[in-house]
Amino acid sequence: MVDLAVRTRGLRKTYGRQVAVADVDLAVPVGAVYGFLGPNGSGKTSTIRVLLGLAAPTSGEVELLGHPMPSGWRTVLPRVGALVEGPAFYPWLSGPANLARLDAADRDADARTRRTRIGEAVERVGLTNAGGKRVKAYSLGMKQRLGIAAALLRPRDLLVLDEPTNGLDPQGTREVRGLVRSLAADGTTLVVSSHLLAEIEQVCSHVGVMSGGRLVAQGTLAELGAGGEQVLLLRTPDHEDARRTLAGAGLDARPDGSATLRAVLPDPPPPVEDLVTALVAAGVRVQGVEVRRDSLEDRFVALTGEGFEVVA
């Protein structure tokens, strides 16, 4: 029984002297929705291309669904759907006509069920009403949807989506989020590369973070969050008295806004109600208290030291 849908060991990919992927050990559990994060140029797409056999690894091992890649591609790839680096279609054909040609090129596809499967895939991504429109008239978001539909023409055990919400409006993004959840509920393992951290937090069970070609963090969302800081935010006009009181509890509070003090909490943190009691007893006017744990975005910046617009 395979417990990992995707596994790499020491995966390395170079282009001449440029190292795109360096010693990456991916572990994507079966049934997971794995968010693959990283700044532009961090090695995400290069890793995905190697996983799918679109590029050969320089060194290291790759397994998909328990089979080695690229040697096992004939067995594995019919069970894998993918949307990588944006879809490409014949612009003068309709969406369903493009899907029919893609399906006809699949030697394992059943021609007898082609029309039904295309209709179901188009309906699932919300393009039924655009069935007669040529792809050249599609928006970028509609092309993204059609690319996902192409990946869903057959039942898949693993689905790899590279920036699946690129170009989508908020409603389309919400629909793709629902689609990812429904596919996961059906038992499909998904690897979703995205720069939309809020989307990753809402749909993913596991996360991997790339930076400079290396996998700098990997685990469940809870495990990544556990590595972040938990902070106390205190809103008060009495900064000096509050800082002295919190120092007595072992907290170093520093200004974080005109009326806010920020203090990193230890693990385990002291009870907030005890801190508030001590502050009030010291005459500190407490206007508001909040305990906040680092978001996925905070953890991302802490791990990579850069934003999404930085090109490595």
Render pLDDT for 10-51 as a digit per residue (tens, 0 to 9). 999 999 999 999 999 999 999 999 999 888 788 999 999 999
Fill in the DSSP letter of residue 77. G
Render pLDDT for 134-170 as a digit per residue (tens, 0 to 9). 999 998 888 888 999 999 999 899 999 988 887 778 8
> Cα separation of 68 and 7, whole Å?
9
Percent of the residues in the chain that have a pLDDT greater than 90, as a whole number? 57
8 Å CB contact between 244 and 284? no
Percent of the residues in the chain that have a pLDDT greater than 70, as a whole number? 95
What is the length of the chain? 312
From the list 44, 2, 54, 41, the residue with the least C-alpha distance to 24 is 44
Going by pLDDT thresholds of 50, 70 and 90, the confidence category of residue 171 is confident
For 4-226, CATH gives 3.40.50.300
Q: Where are the domains of the chain?
A: 4-226, 230-293
For 230-293, CATH gives 3.30.70.100
The answer, as to whether pTM is greater than 0.75, is yes
Residue-wise burial string across 200-217, b where 16 or more C-beta atoms lie within 10 A, e elsewhere: beebbebbbbbbbbebbb
